[in-house]
Structures are given as C-alpha cells and as structure tokens.
Structure 1
Amino acid sequence: MASSGLEKAVEFYKELEAAWSKKDIKAVGKLLPKLKIHLLSLSFLPTGDKESEMDSRPLLIARSMLEIGAFWSLECRDVFSFERYVAQLKSYYFDYSGILKESDYMYSILGLNLMHLLARNRLGEFHTELEVFPPEQLRNVYLKKPIMLEQFLMEGSYHKIYLSKEDIPDPYYSLFIVNLLNTIRDEIAKSTEKAYSSISFSEASRLLMIEDEADFIKYANERGWSHDLNKREFIFSNTSEQDKGEVADTDLQSPRVIIQQCLGYARELEKIV
C-alpha cells in the first residue's frame, strides 16, 4: 500500500472515530461507506506469504471501522446491517489473529451476535457460533450472558429471562433481550389462545410478563383478543371447539405445561430444519 494511501485512510478513520465519539449517528452513516470504498481501492487485505511481511496498520483501521459500523447499526436498530458487519469482522478476529492484537471489542460484538441469533430463534446457528470458542473463552462475561439465557429458554424459565434484563454486560444487550422477550411472549400468547376460552387480566399479565395493565391490554388488542371490563377477562373468540377438544384430551390442566410443550415442539422443528 502506498504511504499516501495509508495516510488518507488514517485521516478518514480519525474523522469517523471523532464522529462516533460524539454519537453523531448521521455523520457516521455518511463516513462509513467513504472509508470502505477507500480501503477497497487500496487492496488493503494481506497477500504476503508470511505474516511477518504483512502490514497490520490497514487491517487495524478496517477492523476498527467495521466495529464502529456494528455498533452504529445497533444505534440505528438495524440488526441486519449489524449481522453483515459481524460476518466481515470474523475474518479479522479469527483469520488474522496471528497478525492483529486481540480487539477490546471482540467479545462484546460476538456476544451481541449470539444475542441476535437467540432473539431470532436461530438456535442451530447459535450453537454453531459457540463451537469456535475454546471452553475457557466461554467464561467471558460477554459470552456467558447469551449462554445463560439460552439455558433459561431451554428450561422454560421465562421469568428468569425477564428478570435478567437489568443485569447485562453492555447496554446494547437490552435490545436483544427485548426482542427475545417479544418472541417468547408471542409463543405464550399463541398457546394461551389454544388453551383457554377466556383468561383473567391478572393471569394474562403474569403469563405475558407485562406489568402495566394498559400495555398488556394494548398487546391483547393487537392480537385481536376481546375483553370484558366488568369481569376483567379476555375472551378468545378464535378458539374453535376442535381446539378445545384437543386441549381437553391431553389432560394438561397447567398453562405452564402447555406453553413449555408448544415451545418444545418449536425448538425440535428448528433442529430438524
């Protein structure tokens, strides 16, 4: 790489870093593609046969740029952009680990990627990602959190997931915990619709893990649930007689058992696919 080209890349990166430190999201969004294009025009990826012959400086700039891009994507609530940045970062974290010093943000970003996969119920990919880490690295605080949440999910301990939203190693984790809770809540709601012809406000609030009454009424309305304000209960008009019969035949009187069984079926289907 020509010296002038590297200097220009450093200049672009410093501008990007300054914008990110100010959380100027709009400016970062404009600078990221400019730096990407400049680095691509310089053919910055290493081509030497020996690691000692490779210049790590452009690699460090590219890696730092992609890390800013990953966090910027989360600021924009664009998880698909985040996923693309993570895919590119893996080369720098693993393929060039002999050239580059380990990034301070590596475990945070890879942990967030695990949270993303968990929240989208992509459990097969979640476990595949874990396989790249040796056992000692899995004790890292950024990786332990998604692993613990996945265990709670398998156990059906959804209240533990709900309570864990306050204990996170990085503020960005809360985004994916909210998404995970929404996924769980939708599965519980589907099971509740099948299991009951009606349910009290208090029981629905407990099952759906929504404390504010206005919020869970709004959620119920979005799902098309009718409600009786006098009896303070929801009525499931979409529950057919056949569905009720199927539920009765199972002799499963506990809503928790029904919910866990339905989620278990979903997880088994995920493994098959």
Structure 2
Amino acid sequence: MSSVPVIPKILSVGDIMEMGAYWSIHARDEPAFERYLALLTSMSHLPPSPRTPILLGLRLLHLLLTNPPHYHTTLARISTTHQAVQFVVQLEQCLGEGTYQRLVVAREQVPVEEYKWFVDELLEKVRGELAVGLEKSFKELTIASAAALLLLNESQVPQLVEFAKKRGWDVQGDKILFPPHKVSIAEETSSKWMISNALNYATALEQIV
C-alpha cells in the first residue's frame, strides 16, 4: 500500500516577511529588520498570524529605542492586551520612573529570546546616560559602586573596565577616577537624582533577594 505524499505548505508573502524579520534579529542586522517591518506594515490587509503580536512587540521595542515619539503614537493605535506588547509598555514605564534595575530583571523575562537583543540595546543606552551622570556627580568611585550604578554585577567587572576605557575614565586598582567636568547646578541636580534613584532601587532589590 503506497503512502500518501506529504504536500509542503506554501508560504505566503506575509510568512516570508515575518521569517525575514526573525532572521534579521538573529543576524543582528537592524537595517534589514527595519525593512521587513516596513514591508509588513504596508501589508496590513494580510490576516494576522501567531507571530503577529510578537513582531508588534518587537516593533514597539525598536521604536522605543530609536523613535520614542513614534512609539507613543503607534501604541495609541493598537491593543495592549497581548503579553508581548504589555512587556514593552512595562519597559517604557521603567524608563519613565527611573527604575532601571527592573530592565535587568526584565531581560530574563522576555516573551521570546528575540527580545533580548533590543533589551540589551536599551540597557546600553541607559548605561550611557547613567555614565554621563556619574561623570557629572563624582570625582571617583570604587569599581563595585560604579558597577552597581551602571546596572552591572560582579561577574561583569571586565565589561565595566572596558566600558570605562572607552569613556576615557582612569581605572586605578579598585577605583575609577572620572575626568574633571564642569556642570551647571541644574545639570548636577538632574544627574544626582538619576544616580540616586538607580542606587536606591538597586539597594531595595538586594534587600528583597
């Protein structure tokens, strides 16, 4: 008795575009990801697939990184009930509240692995802003204190040292010395608030653990 041949599923244009978007994330090809998203957005007449909410969340996360005003206008036009979208909304709330340590926690709670690339990019962006605050607020810090304020843990000290060198900080023993930086009172107040907020939240998390 002959077996019935398996007929392969014919991929739709939408399937191909969605697969391309996923591929571009794994390839860390941001321009390609943007092109695939633009194509998918232009094909709004296509029926949704199981991947649609995930890709919508990825699109929002990308906009949060690259174009916050467009992020808000896009968010206003869609449903926020899906977990993938709620995840991005919660990240944006973390940024607004200055509870940056929650970004580190959120990285381990992503809806799918593909989100980690953009969460890492978001962490790097925040880390850069915190670094500016450190430069304006302190003359020196221990490596341990600097790591905590830059959302890094003890195992990431080599990453911190490399980060410090790129910013022109002087690493001496267990301390980091910051270059002289003259700032206005308004800048100093803003920087100290941001750093204090991050430090207080990090301390609270340690006490919970």
1:227 pairs, out of 171, 188, 198, with 171
Note if contact 1:118-1:150 (Cα within 8 Å) is conserved in structure 2. yes
5+ long unaligned stretches in structure 1: 1-10, 18-60, 262-273
Residue 119 (structure 1) aligns with: 65
**Which protein shows a greater Rg?**
1
Alignment of 1:125-164 (within 5 A): 125-133=70-78, 137-164=79-106
Higher helix share: 1
**Greater RCO, 1 or 2 (C-alpha within 8 Å, sep 6+):** 2
In the superposition, the TM-score normalised over structure 1's length comes to: 0.63
- Structure 1 vs Structure 2 CA RMSD: 2.5
Q: Deviations over 1:79-113 (max 9, x none)?
A: 12111111111233x3x1xxx43211111111101
Q: Match of 2:47?
A: 101
Q: Which amino acid aligns with 1:131?
A: A
Number of the residue aligned with 2:110: 168
> Alpha-carbon deviation of 1:259?
4.4
Q: How far has the Cα of 1:221 moved from its partner?
A: 1.1
Aligned to 1:68: 19
Q: Please tell me the residue identity of whatever aligns with 1:221.
A: K
User: Structure 2: which amino acid aligns with 1:114?
Assistant: L
**Contact 1:156–1:260 at 8 Å: present in 2 too?**
no
Misfit runs of 4+, over 3 Å? 249-252, 258-261
- CA–CA separation in structure 1 for the residues paired with 2:90 and 2:146: 26
2:65 and 2:122 in contact (8 A); partners too: yes
CA deviation profile, 1:184-209 (whole Å, cap 9, x unmatched): 00000011111111111111011111
Structure 2 residue ranges without an equivalent (≥5)? 1-7, 198-209
What corresponds to 1:213 in structure 2?
A: 157
Contact 1:67/1:89, CA 8 A, preserved across alignment: yes
**How much identity, in percent, do the aligned residues show?**
29
The total of aligned residue pairs comes to 189
1:232-271 aligned within 5 A: 232-237=174-179, 239-240=180-181, 242-243=182-183, 246-247=184-185, 252=189, 256-259=192-195
Q: Is the 8 A contact 1:66 1:89 kept in 2?
A: yes
Aligned with residue 38 of structure 2, among 58, 65, 87: 87
Superposed displacement of residue 210, structure 1: 1.4
Name the amino acid aligned to 1:126: Y
Q: How does 1:187-206 map to 2 (within 5 A)?
A: 187-206=129-148
Structure 2 length normalisation: TM-score? Answer: 0.82
